[in-house]
Amino acid sequence: MFNKILIANRGEIACRVAATCKRLGIASVAVYSDADANAKHVAACDEAVHIGGSTAAESYLRIERIIEAARATGAQAVHPGYGFLSENEDFAHACEAAGIVFIGPPVEAIAAMGSKAAAKALMHAAAVPLVPGYHGDDQDPQLLQREADAIGYPVLLKASAGGGGKGMRVVERSADFAAALLSCKREAASSFGNDRVLIEKYLMRPRHVEVQVFADRHGGAVYLFDRDCSVQRRHQKVLEEAPAPGLDADVKRAMGEAAVAAARAVNYVGAGTVEFIMTPTGEFYFMEMNTRLQVEHPVTEMVTGQDLVEWQLRVAADEPLPLTQQQLKLDGHAIEARIYAEHPARGFLPSTGTLKHLRMPEGVEFAIDAAGLGEPGRKAPVRIDSGVREGDTITPFYDPMIAKLIVHGATREEALARLARALHACEVVGPHTNVEFLQRIVASEPFASGDLDTGLIERHHDALFAPGKKPFREALALACAALLTREGGTAHGASPWDALSHWRLNSGYTQTLGWRMIDDAAHDDGAAAFTVVFARNGGGQTSSQTPAQTLEHDGVREAFTWSAGAGAHEFRATIGDARVSGRVFVDGDRFHVFCHGEALAFEWQNLLAHAADAEGGEGRLTAPMPGKVIAVLVEPGAVVEKGTPLLVMEAMKMEHTIGAPTAGTVTEVLYAVGDQVTDGAQLLVLDVQ
């Protein structure tokens, strides 16, 4: 076994690998960029080496700097994690040339599976079922158009060297093919340095089911069962679970055996994932093989009791696989939810900013019983894998993941219930997140019943994004409690208005509190601004019919008391006959309330000042997220219709096309290709018709 390894990655996967290294007594070396100088993964490792600037191209994709870091620290092996250089054959070759073990498959296997087109040919030879499509070398746009027309729409364009949803487009009709091809190639070149694409028939209502495989250099090869990864947005996974629900045992076995056959076809070594697309009637087809550990590997660890990173290290150290196929057993059900900093209601655009408050449900980061294999983290049924801490910043340079929330249960129903409770315990203040969206998916009938396919989110869009009824009254009471406490009052007489040394005419006190919803969509009646009148009867002159304190909103006056809880940010309140407890994180004049498993946010308004001016001006078009302008599609003087593409931005290696909000004439373009823009920056001026 190795004495020291370098982890050529960042974030939660670097922390995850470091945890296994620590348990096994292996020293770990982190690498970091300018943006990650104080990152969690740096602190998790025994040593750390700076490798460059904030962008991935300046740091985590610099092969020579990572090799230099490994040599300088005496690391015997490099773990690539996933993403970045994990499936880069040049990197694997550079490690080999430097005498450093690459903890992954042989260079030849990466090359064979790195090209989706070449992989399809190999799978065809190995008798693994394939989706109808075009995987040829000729990339002439007219030929690709003819091939797509012959296959029949809808078709799926995929970057041949890609993954993670990048360089992928669904084309519904022939007239849209040319534009989709251009965009797909551009994104593929940006993400992978290779703009080659392949075309496949786009199957209707398919499931995305994958199989975890492992192989060693001694002829051993096994599959660690299957996972369902069908719930996706923008072709990226949102929820994953193991085992895949509702599949016949014969189908599961056939899929596992096909995955092992795929691995053997390329003389595979190490951890790999063979991804299949499955029709509603149970036919499955090979999509691709990821020659690395997957983001969703924790669900497999939870149901098999195996530490897959330890398996990787042992296989890379030329040991045989720890278990045979017959020795592998399934235990219960596991589900993983990816918590991202993003705007679900704005097309899942990434969100950036400082994590001012971060509280995850009670659980464990990856842990394994000291006795060794067999009990990873499942003693605690909730597991949190995260690469950030409170106070860290989600930047535009990398994937906006905050954490992976993984739960285990004896059954799928038990795991679902546990996941719902865990999501309701998540508290994030700073960037927008998808936590509420995840709650809605988990509670939805299709997911709960196992009616899964890759179009689940789109098909149930209206229900998943419908305005929901939230505990507005209770949250408002807690916000008022937090504000009144901050301003010097409590329910138990600490307010100066209650002091006996002060005289007040008429013995009473009222205070008008102005509030504004930070996100009006969270309030089901659509009110954005409102007032609450807090009244306190002074001097102990209260009759049994008159409450000592009242809160009035929308003309309704109710008895009101409150107190601070034992823990930080905790408050309790009684409004009328309702009692509520929750947590309030105060950020300046913004009050983020977490109660009844829901999150609401209010901003306290000084009623003597004007409310903040809304961003206005017809024709003002602003950036929906920070990023780089990669294409300007119009010039000043252009007359456009509503929805006309105006420019293309790139953020976190994903393209986002900005369309005209209304018909008009472009009078000024404020940014050029290559310019970096901040969230909310005005991009151009549109003279509205």
List active site positions: 292
Amino acid at 560: F
User: How many Å apart are CA 87 and CA 263, to the nearest integer?
Assistant: 15
Which residues of 112-250 form beta strands (DSSP E)?
A: 133-134, 155-159, 168-171, 197-201, 207-215, 221-233, 236-242
CA distances from 624 to 144, 187, 342 (A): 33, 19, 11
Residues 6+ apart with CB under 8 A from 555: none
* Cis check: omega of the bond before 154, within 30 degrees of 0: yes
Strands 4-7 and 77-79: parallel
Q: Cα 83–89–91 angle (5° rounding)? A: 75
Strand partners, 591: 586, 602
Q: Pick from 224, 314, 236, 242: which is nearest to 24 by CA?
A: 314
How many other β-carbons are positioned within 10 Å of the β-carbon of residue 587?
A: 13
If 0-12 CB within 10 Å is exposed, 13-18 middle and 19+ buried, where does residue 641 land? exposed
Ramachandran region, residue 436 (left: φ > 0; alpha: ψ -120 to 50; beta: rest): alpha
Query: How many CB atoms sit inside 10 A of residue 397's CB?
Result: 24
List the structure tokens of 26: 């292996």
Tell me the residue type at 155.
V
- Is residue 655 within 8 A of residue 647, CB to CB? The reply is no
d(CA 688, CA 618): 7
Report the distance separating Cα 311 and Cα 270, nearest Å.
8
* Closest C-alpha to 45, from 69, 59, 27: 27
Q: What are phi and psi of 58, to 5 degrees?
A: -90, -5
Bond preceding residue 106 cis, omega within 30 of 0: no
- Tokens 């107190």 identify what position? 563
Element at 650 (helix H, strand E): strand 645-651
CA 256, 262, 267, 273 dihedral sign is: negative
Helix, strand, coil distribution of the chain in percent, nearest 5 = 30, 35, 40
Q: Report how far Cα 203 is from the mean position of its chain's Cα atoms.
A: 25
- Terminal-to-terminal C-alpha distance of the chain: 70
Cross-strand partners of 599: 594
Q: What is the DSSP letter of 644?
A: -
Q: How far is CA 457 from the centre of its chain?
A: 15
Query: SS3 letters for 475-511?
Result: HHHHHHHHHHHHCCCCCCCCCHHHCCCCCCHHHEEEE
Residue 571 pairs with which residues in a beta bridge?
Answer: 564, 582
Do 403 and 363 meet the contact criterion of CB atoms below 8 Å apart? no
